[in-house]
């Protein structure tokens, strides 16, 4: 069992289970991290999330490489379904489509501004 910096044993056990089914990766350029991405796996489904790249690291193929690495990792662990989310028309959508993903549906996110009457 891992040692965690807190005494909540139930939470520690949940984290251990998550470690067995999730993965985080990053890309370095000249020894400096420029991009990161996460992967969660459950019951044969791979969920790609948490992709980000620092501004000066963009347009160098980091996210495409991370997506490729996570897809290979998921396939090696028996995943036969993968999903991810991206804003319409963004770089993440283009990278996903380069790897064979297709839009399943479009989701709209709503937000309430502080002075909108509530």
Q: Which of 49, 47, 46 is nearest to 75 (CA)?
A: 46
Going by pLDDT thresholds of 50, 70 and 90, the confidence category of residue 28 is: confident
* Terminal-to-terminal C-alpha distance of the chain: 47
Q: Hey, where are the domains in the chain?
A: 22-98
Helix, strand, or coil (residue 111): coil
Q: Average pLDDT for residues 71-99, to the nearest whole number? A: 88
The whole-chain average pLDDT of the chain stands at 80
Report which of residues 108 and 69 the model is more confident about.
69
Which pLDDT belongs to residue 2? 37
Please give the Cα distance from 118 to 116 (Å, whole number).
Answer: 6
Please give the Cα distance from 9 to 27 (Å, whole number).
Answer: 33
pLDDT of 106 over the 90 cut:
no
Q: What is the model's pTM?
A: 0.69
Task: State the architecture of 22-98 in CATH terms.
Answer: 3-Layer(aba) Sandwich (3.40)
Which pLDDT belongs to residue 50? 84
Which pLDDT belongs to residue 78? 93
């Amino acid at each position: 069992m891992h040692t965690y910096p807190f005494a909540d044993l139930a939470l520690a056990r949940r984290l251990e289970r998550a470690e067995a089914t999730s993965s985080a990766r990053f890309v370095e350029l000249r020894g400096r991290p420029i991009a990161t991405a996460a992967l969660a796996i459950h019951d044969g489904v791979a969920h790609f999330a948490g992709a980000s790249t620092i501004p000066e690291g963009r347009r160098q193929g980091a996210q495409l490489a991370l997506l490729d690495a996570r897809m290979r990792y998921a396939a090696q662990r028996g995943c036969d379904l993968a999903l991810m989310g991206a804003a319409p028309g963004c770089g993440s959508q283009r990278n996903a489509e380069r790897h064979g993903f297709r839009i399943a549906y479009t989701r709209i996110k709503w937000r309430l501004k502080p002075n909108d009457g509530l």
